Amino acid sequence: MKTLIENPEVNQIKCLIVDDTSTWQEIFAQPLRDSGHKVHITPSLDEAFDRINKNFYHVAVVDLALDPDNDKNTDGLKVLQKLRDLGEGTQSMLISGVGTMQIGWQAGIYGAAEVIEKGKFDADSYALAVKLALDRAQAILGRYHVQPEFFGGMANPTIWSTNVLMFLKMKKGYVTLDEFVSRLLRRFEPLLTPLGNPEALIDRQKRIVAAHCWSKGVGHGIDVRFGCVTRLEEIQTHSSETVLRAVVHDELIGYVARRADSVVGDYEPRTRGQRW
């Protein structure tokens, strides 16, 4: 399988910093930027939820208290809980002004891999904790697998995949299509489908599949096209500037492009066709 185009955006590691103090935001964010990672910073619970709904993060560094006027605030635990419940593989780290057994216990309950006390902050220890967390996140993503059924709607996606094989007239069958789709969409996961989970468009005359979804991997909507190599010109409906990945393998060619004017509220999670 040959990769024709690979936008650096696709393989960028993303980290989320949730802290209501600008000084600590920079302390936690700068080492990540220095390592070449993309960093999103948010000071509040609502903004954190908005970011998490749109994006997948390899690592989330979350302060326990997100209200400067309330020293008993524990909104950071709600952020950890959301990340845990999504189950996408984000590795979370809880930051606290004080370290107690209760805080450590709560952090574990909500899935935090590490608890860092601000008063005992050490840059080297923080860098090591982040590296280990990133390694765990990468290992989880390595097991992620998007199947052709993901685009088959909710009626009978297996039959849909069989129909795709028939109109593509592929000699090597389902295994090749399965591997191709997984490679094409690698690093775009997790994916959200359009509301109602409609089937992807099958153009039997052109032997092309056309679909769109929301990629939390890159944080925006994407258009997906794949089909027979002989139909290369029909597949290329986007300008080269918007194409994020293009791959070719035996009889198949496909690409993923940025979708203009898409909003995450038009999409919903779907587990069928995606495996961890």
Residue 70: half-sphere exposure toward Cβ, Cα within 13 Å:
10
pLDDT of residue 155: 57
**pLDDT band at residue 64, thresholds of 50, 70 and 90?**
very high
What is the per-residue pLDDT across 183-195, written as a single tens digit (0 to 9) for each? 899 889 999 999 9
> What are the chain's domains?
5-142 (3.40.50.2300), 145-275 (no CATH)
Decide if pLDDT at 264 tops 80.
yes
What is the per-residue pLDDT across 217-258, written as a single tens digit (0 to 9) for each? 999 999 998 887 766 666 666 666 789 998 888 778 899 999
Closest CA to 151 of 176, 182, 110: 182
> E strands within 10-110?
14-18, 38-42, 59-63, 91-96
Closest CA to 64 of 19, 131, 23: 19
Taking 3-state DSSP, the helix, strand and coil percentages for the chain, each rounded to the nearest 5, stand at 40, 30, 30
- Note the pTM of the prediction, 2 decimals: 0.88
Peptide bond into 190 cis (omega under 30): yes
**pLDDT band at residue 169, thresholds of 50, 70 and 90?**
low
